[in-house]
Amino acid sequence: MTLLRGRGYASVNYPTGMNLGGDPSQALIHATTMGAFVISLSSVDLGQGLKTVVAQCAAETLGMPMANVIVDTADTDTGPHCMGTFASRGTHRVGNAVIMAAREARDVMLAVAADELEVDAGDLETDGTGFVRLKGSPETRIHIQDITLAAHFKQGKTISGRGIFLKERNYPVPETGEMDPDSCQAHACTVADVEVDDETGVVTVLGLHNTYEIGRALNPAMAAQQVEGGGWMGVSHAIFESTEPYYPASRDHGPVDFCEYLMPGPAEIPVQESVILERPASNGPFGAKGIGEMTANAPIPAIANAIFDACGVRLTTMPFTPESILRGLDALRA
């Protein structure tokens, strides 16, 4: 028995959004009497952190603490329209819509504060702690709770805003085929280190080294979590998962529960090292691009290339099972 080690590389670029009949998302925002800002969306947080990121976008635009922002994802009957949480579009589309809504609400907020302070709204700024103050004279200030109370019970104004970001449908040029199907593209490279047992055919992924260019990481910790969670999914697709092994008769033979469905457990999770590169997109919220789906892509071909580097077997069908490794080694020996 020999344990053969190999290293493989793979790079990807991935679009943000899609090009069906247009790709819009809407957002609404309003202030409560006690100074909170409620963002209403139909966009769903699947666990990727969308609610946190849009709260950051709103807080940054309003100039208010994140503690003052409430994100209500409502439902598709009562919330503003959204195409959905897919196509790595959430942060880009929804973030842009929330920023637009927050800008509109901020303008009303400053107008109400200006009336209370008897100054011009253009001379006001936020301090990030909940106060609106006079530029150059920070002692002249008013708290957001006093602003919202004045708006509701004294001035009769609604501090609110609306936003919609639309990527319009784009058609190919008949003569050249060129088109603009997405808003921007993110890029990534993964280096995989593997070990192949030439007697059993078992492949062990020892490590993944990931570099992702995602525009701007609005929340670096969550971006790293997405990269490494996607890396786990890539390992699972490459080595373990066979979602339709007997298609089209998978219901007769396929796994029926997670005891039979193979996925990496704690012992199979490789060490990961991840680096985020920032090259802001001109049309992204604070420069952000989409990251969600692409994180599971690069590890798969990187692992395939690492297997080839280790033992000379070129595999093109997932999962890369021990049987496929051993058949490949037999073919090489023959």
| Cα-only R_g, the chain | 26
Nearest to 25 by CA among 286, 285, 226: 285
182 pLDDT band, cuts 50/70/90, is: confident
Task: Report residue 88 as tokens.
Answer: 């790595």
DSSP per-residue string spanning 30-86: EE-TTS-EEEE------SSSHHHHHHHHHHHHHT--GGGEEEE---TTTSPPB--S-
DSSP 254: S
What percentage of the chain reaches a pLDDT higher than 70? 96
Q: Report the pLDDT averaged over residues 47-75.
A: 93
Amino acid identity of 229? Answer: G
The letter for the amino acid at 293 is E
**CA-CA distance, 278 to 17, in Å (whole number)?**
19
Q: Which of 125, 166, 130, 164 is nearest to 147 (CA)?
A: 130
Q: What are the residues facing 270 on neighbouring strands?
A: none
- Range with lowest mean pLDDT among 28-37, 76-85, 113-122, 123-132: 76-85
What pLDDT, in 10s, does the model give residues 236-253?
999 998 766 566 665 666
Place of tokens 């959204």: 82
Whole-number pLDDT of residue 79: 87
pLDDT category, 284, cuts 50, 70, 90?
very high
* Of 212, 181, 108, residue with least CA distance to 150: 108
**What confidence category does residue 176 fall into, taking pLDDT thresholds of 50, 70 and 90?**
very high
State both tokens at 152: 């509701």
The confidence score (pLDDT) of residue 250 equals 59
Question: Is 194 in contact with 6 (CB distance < 8 Å)?
Answer: yes
Domain span(s) for CATH 3.30.365.10 in the chain:
3-16+182-333, 19-165
Cα–Cα distance list, 187 to 112, 210, 212, 227 (Å): 44, 11, 6, 12
- The answer to whether the beta carbons of residues 302 and 192 sit under 8 Å apart is yes
> Please, which residues have CB within 8 angstroms of residue 91's CB and are 6 or more apart in sequence?
50, 53, 54, 218, 284, 285, 288, 289, 290, 291
- In this prediction, residue 126 carries a pLDDT of 97
Q: Is residue 213 within 8 Å of residue 11, measured between CB atoms?
A: no
Cα 65–69–75 angle (5° rounding)?
Answer: 165
Place of tokens 């990496």: 264
Average pLDDT over residues 133-141: 95
Omega of the bond leading into 172 within 30 degrees of 0 (cis): no
**How far is it, in rounded angstroms, from Cα 201 to Cα 322?**
4
Residue in the structure block whose two tokens are 């969308």: 50
Identify the pLDDT of residue 164: 95
Amino acid at site 82:
C
3-16+182-333 in CATH: which number? 3.30.365.10
pLDDT averaged over every residue in the chain: 92
Query: Helix, strand or coil for residue 141?
Result: strand
Give phi and psi for 228, each to the nearest 5: -80, -30
For domain 19-165, the CATH architecture is: 2-Layer Sandwich (3.30)
Confidence category of residue 326, pLDDT binned at 50, 70, 90? very high
Nearest to 80 by CA among 97, 63, 61: 97
Task: Tell me the mean pLDDT in the region 306-313.
Answer: 97
Task: Give the SS3 label for residue 248.
Answer: coil
